Structure 1
């Protein structure tokens, strides 16, 4: 077990393999374990770093938190971890809201990133019906407050993601504390977070937006395509859906390496 002290938290992290640094940033549920399967297929090429984002599981909060700047803080945590490992700039892969963190990291700390692969970031403000999705995420949050995490996650899963993903998501290990933290501080905040498109465009050559081919027609796929258009970048289509790195890890890892 390794930890890194950062302002306001202690980050749990792991490293595996040898080679250039490849940092994986998780979305929900915020823990390194979601990348367990894909990591073993990347270590032949890279030093893979995975971590629990602050507030989730083993990355404990210490003192007061500025939740109005949580995305900025998440990006700064990733930057500090890359610097701590001393092998940057890093290849950075972020999935879902972890991809939003990766985009914020590139905009604020471009020297930390060699290549960024934002995988299905829920940047729904880039969609023509983006406001509809923002309202829907607020409705899911309200359902969570009324009825608890299970019905809220079911509604969120069935409306937002492809059927390909539903079984894997439904059978994911349950952690009510992580779910509550995500509902409270991320579901409503990260999808509509403003992107610094000017800063991202200045470093667009480092960005490879990516999607799961089974996600076509669903909001995170379409938002990623919109992001690629804004940055003038082709979008890589990888095996599986929103969580292809879990459901189809060997093929996903092979395609991810090829996309680099």
Structure 2
């Protein structure tokens, strides 16, 4: 299959880099973290068999630069960026949207503010921790992360953040040691460099803003028929999983378990993409035990 078509969209305060593959109804993929459009490389080609698949680097990542690198980030602005892409690529017609992690938070806001543009949203582990009964604990975690970032730098802050995401009682020593990886291709190595280069922006500007976001639960209830909440089979009890499961319970909707954990899109791309295609195709919302 030929590579994607690359485009650039000028939005308020930034220039978005996006990729388009395939033909058919539009499927917009919203990445989380620092992965950008490349986070969907393992699934995009297969999904493009039935859809026009668009993925992009959210504003502020290295390939979608901000006019002002220090500009505070807001979920509302990121959701508006997604809306602008929908307007460009699927004018006047509702589109399918799949989003992960912080991208799924932007997806939730897009759904509640522009429901006429979203046929269905699959939201995988949006860490909207403010909906949880113990939200105060997570606010304290975010404060510790930012304080550590200011005092000690990126890697110590990232370690505090990672520890706060684990399920209660997990011992970091129980995490399997990384297996040796083959030498990376030039393209993969460039992706790793971008990911690491974007970490200060993500941890310093995206995490505190996005994880403080409070979704409009009444509005989500109204549009819940277009929402598929999802989590990883391996991330039950972890912090990013819990808000998705909580929202599914609160809204009375079902909950789809995808293979892997929070990063199952990267660790199990074939299985993840196959289930995503099934959910998009049929709207199936198979309930797996919570």
Tell me whether the two structures share a fold, i.e. TM-score over 0.5.
yes
Q: What is the match of residue 127 of structure 1?
A: 132
- What's the secondary structure of 2:48's corresponding residue? coil
Q: What is the Cα deviation at residue 200 of structure 1? A: 1.4
CA distance in 2, matches of 1:125, 1:165: 31
Contact 1:31–1:57 at 8 Å: present in 2 too?
Answer: no
Contact 1:13–1:50 at 8 Å: present in 2 too?
Answer: yes
After superposing the two structures, state which structure 1 stretch, 33-42 or 247-256, moved more: 33-42
- Which residue of 73, 85, 101 corresponds with 2:77? 73
- What's the secondary structure of 2:213's corresponding residue? coil
Contact 1:127–1:226 at 8 Å: present in 2 too?
Answer: yes
Q: What is the Cα deviation at residue 176 of structure 1? A: 4.6
Q: For structure 2, list consecutive stretches of 5 or more residues without a partner in the other structure.
A: 1-5, 168-173, 180-188, 281-290
- What's the secondary structure of 1:186's corresponding residue? helix
Q: What is the Cα deviation at residue 48 of structure 1? A: 1.2
Within a 5 Å distance, the mapping from 1:18-29 to structure 2 comes to 18-29=23-34
Task: Please say which structure displays the higher CA radius of gyration.
Answer: 2
CA distance in 2, matches of 1:63, 1:91: 31
After superposing the two structures, state which structure 1 stretch, 104-113 or 30-39, moved more: 30-39
Q: What is the match of residue 239 of structure 1?
A: 259
Contact 1:164–1:241 at 8 Å: present in 2 too?
Answer: no
CA distance in 2, matches of 1:81, 1:128: 35
After superposing the two structures, state which structure 1 stretch, 59-68 or 77-86, moved more: 59-68
Q: 1:185 to 1:63 in 2, by over 3 A?
A: closer
2:16 aligned with 1:11, yes or no? Answer: yes
Q: What is the Cα deviation at residue 164 of structure 1? A: 7.4
Contact 2:146–2:157 at 8 Å: present in 1 too?
Answer: yes
Q: How many residues align?
A: 257
Q: 1:80 to 1:222 in 2, by over 3 A?
A: same
- Which residue of 206, 218, 225 corresponds with 1:186? 206
Q: What is the Cα deviation at residue 201 of structure 1? A: 1.2
Q: For structure 1, list consecutive stretches of 5 or more residues without a partner in the other structure.
A: none
Q: Using structure 1 for the length normalisation, give the TM-score.
A: 0.90
Deviations along 1:136-169, whole A, 9 cap, x unmatched? 122122222222222222332243147779959x
- The RMSD of aligned alpha carbons is 2.4
- What's the secondary structure of 1:187's corresponding residue? helix
Q: What is the Cα deviation at residue 130 of structure 1? A: 1.6
Q: What is the match of residue 117 of structure 1?
A: 122
CA distance in 1, matches of 2:176, 2:13: 34
Contact 1:27–1:96 at 8 Å: present in 2 too?
Answer: yes
Deviations along 1:76-111, whole A, 9 cap, x unmatched? 100000110126411111111111000010111111
Q: 1:90 to 1:128 in 2, by over 3 A?
A: same
Contact 1:17–1:46 at 8 Å: present in 2 too?
Answer: yes
Q: Using structure 2 for the length normalisation, give the TM-score.
A: 0.82
- What's the secondary structure of 1:259's corresponding residue? helix
Within a 5 Å distance, the mapping from 1:1-260 to structure 2 comes to 1-29=6-34, 31-62=36-67, 67=72, 70-86=74-90, 88-161=93-166, 173-174=192-193, 175-260=195-280
Q: 1:227 to 1:17 in 2, by over 3 A?
A: same
CA distance in 2, matches of 1:100, 1:36: 21
